């Protein structure tokens, strides 16, 4: 939710991240949120920040030197008049760092991006 929508904050802030809406490569994201982080956002900028439940990535892909975390992003397009969106591509992001992304993996092996291959089902056309 937008930070401006909260009248009080969750007690379990360790399960949330504070994100500016227009962040590139995780810049400005606070991963270990404290009440003072929330209070430090000026009133006029609170509608441009989100308090978002944290995703716990688990290492599941076996690499030669350990296991790696994976995030799969799917891109759908919904053409005007179409009954449903159509999956057009995907991106698999690999990580050993605390979060997914290059800046969290600079000193690690087997990080980066790839593509996922899958067989289309009848439902996907």
The token pair that represents 115 in the structure block? 């593509």
Neighbouring CB atoms inside 10 A of 68's CB total: 20
Angle at CA of residue 25, ends 24 and 28, nearest 5°: 70
* Res 48: pLDDT: 95
Compute the average pLDDT of residues 81-105.
Answer: 83
For residue 92, is pLDDT > 70? yes
Using 50, 70 and 90 to split pLDDT, how confident is the model at 55?
confident
Kindly tell me if the per-residue pLDDT of 123 is higher than 60.
no
Q: What is the pLDDT of residues 8-31, one digit of tens each?
A: 999 999 999 999 998 776 778 898
Q: Would you say 56 and 100 are in contact if contact means Cβ atoms under 8 Å apart?
A: no
pLDDT band at 58 (very low <50, low <70, confident <90, very high): confident
Give the pLDDT confidence score for residue 41 in this predicted structure.
94
d(CA 50, CA 16): 10
Q: Structure tokens of 98?
A: 């605390």
Contact 101, 24 (CB under 8 A): no
Q: Are 3 and 51 in contact (CB under 8 A)?
A: yes
Q: What percent of the chain has pLDDT over 90?
A: 45
- Given a contact cutoff of 8 angstroms between Cβ atoms, the answer to whether 1 and 51 are in contact is yes
């Amino acid at each position: 939710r937008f930070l401006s929508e909260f009248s009080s904050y969750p007690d379990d802030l360790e399960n949330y991240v504070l994100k500016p809406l227009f962040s590139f490569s995780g810049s400005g994201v606070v991963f270990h949120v404290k009440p003072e982080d929330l209070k430090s956002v000026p009133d006029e900028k609170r509608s441009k920040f989100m308090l978002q439940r944290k995703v716990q990535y688990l290492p599941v892909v076996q690499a030669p030197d350990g296991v790696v975390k994976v995030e799969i992003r799917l891109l759908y397009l919904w053409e005007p008049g179409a009954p449903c969106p159509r999956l057009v591509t995907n991106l698999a992001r690999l990580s050993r760092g605390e979060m997914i992304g290059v800046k969290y993996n600079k000193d690690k092996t087997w990080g980066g991006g790839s593509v996922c291959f899958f067989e289309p089902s009848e439902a996907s056309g």
